[in-house]
Amino acid sequence: MRTLNTERIVDAVAAMCVHANRYLPEDVQKSFAHCAAGESGAAAKEIFRQLTENYKLAAESGLPLCQDTGLAVFFVEMGQDLRLEGLNIRDAINAGVRKGYEEGKLRKSVCDPFSRANTKDNTPAVIHFDVVPGDGLKIAFMAKGGGSENMSRVTMLVPAQGWEGIKKFVLQRVAEAGPNPCPPTVIGVGIGGTFDYAPILAKKALMRKLGDSNPDPKLDAMEKELLAEINKLGIGPMGLGGTTTSLDVKIAVSPCHIASLPLAVNVQCHSTRHEEVEL
C-alpha cells in the first residue's frame, strides 16, 4: 500500500491548468502545420497563420491561448492499492483548480445555472473517477471551452441505423454547427454504453493525441472515413471555407443494451488543451 499526500495533487493540478492553457500541445501544432499545407484558399491559410502566431505568442508571453480557459474536466484513474492522506481527492483537485486559475491569470468561467452568478474560482471541476489495479494515480486534465461544448449532442439511435446512421448524425451535427465551435475542430464520438455513458466515452476520446491511431484497426478505419467525410463539407477554418473543417476524429465504444445504439458527439475547438500527470 503506497501513501500519497494530497498536497502533491493540488500542486500538480494547478501546474497542469496553467501549462495546458499556455502551451498548445505539440501534436496540435503539428496538425495545424500539416492541415495548413493542404489548404489552397487565402482565408484558410490566413486563419492557420494567425493561430500559429497565437500559440507562439502565448508561449512567449504567458497569456492563455484563448480567453476561454475552460471548465476544468478531469479523468482520474486511481489505483485501488493507493492510500491518500490529507484532503478528500475531490477537494484536492478543486483546490488545484482554484490555485492554478488564480495564479495563472486564467479566466473563471463557472457560474450558477440559474442566477448566472460566477463562482469566481472556476470550481467546481467536472471529475470522472475510475478505480484501477495497482497503486498509481493518473490525472488527465482538459480545459473545455463553452463554445464548442454547446455544439455537442447526444442521441439514442436504434440498432437498425448502425454505422450509416452514426455517420449521418455526426455529419449533420458538424454541418449545423458550422463556424460556431471555432473550426478546425476535433470530433469526439462515443458509441454505446447508456444515455449517460456515451458522452463520457466521447469526451475521453478527445484526450487522445491528434494524428495517433486507434488501437482497434476497425475503429481506426472508421475515424479516418468520418474525418474525410467531414472535411468534404468545406466549412473550413473559422467557417471561411477550406478542406480542414476538423483536424481529427476520435471514436470510443462500449457494449450497449440490445435495444439501443447510444451516440454522443463531443465537439472540441482547435484550441485543444489537455495534459496528464502520474503521481
Partner 1 sequence: MAEYHLNAPLSDGDARKLRAGDVVYLTGIIYTARDAAHKRLIDLLDAGKELPFPLKGAVIYYVGPAPAPEGRPIGSAGPTTSYRMDSYAPRLHSLGAKASIGKGKRDEAVKQALKDHGGVYFGATGGAGALISMRIEAARVVAFDDLGTEAIRELKVKEFPLLVINDACGGDLYVQPDLKAVGLE
CA 178 to CA 180: how far, in whole Å?
Answer: 6
C-beta of 102: minimal distance to partner 1 in Å?
9
Q: Are 6 and 85 in contact (CB under 8 A)?
A: yes
Closer residue to partner 1, CB minimum distance, 60 or 85: 60
Nearer of residues 163 and 195 to partner 1, judged by Cβ: 163
The answer to whether 261 touches 192, Cβ cutoff 8 Å, is yes
Burial class of residue 278 (count of CB atoms within 10 Å of its CB; 0-12, 13-18, 19+) = exposed
Residues interacting with partner 1, by CB under 8 A? 47, 50-51, 53-54, 57-58, 61-69, 105-109, 111, 116, 118, 120, 146-147, 150, 168, 171-172, 174-175, 178-182, 229-230, 232-236, 238-241, 269-271
Residue placing its CB nearer to partner 1 in the complex, 107 or 209: 107
**Cα–Cα distance measured from residue 29 to residue 51, given in angstroms and rounded to the nearest whole number:** 9
**Measured from the CB of residue 21, what is the shortest distance to partner 1 in angstroms?**
9
What cell was used for 76? Answer: 482520474
Minimum distance from residue 268 beta carbon to partner 1 (Å): 11
Output 94 or 268, the one with its CB closest to partner 1. 268
CB of 185 to partner 1, least distance (A): 11
Instruction: Report how far residue 178's alpha carbon sits from residue 18's, in angstroms, rounded to the nearest whole number.
Output: 30
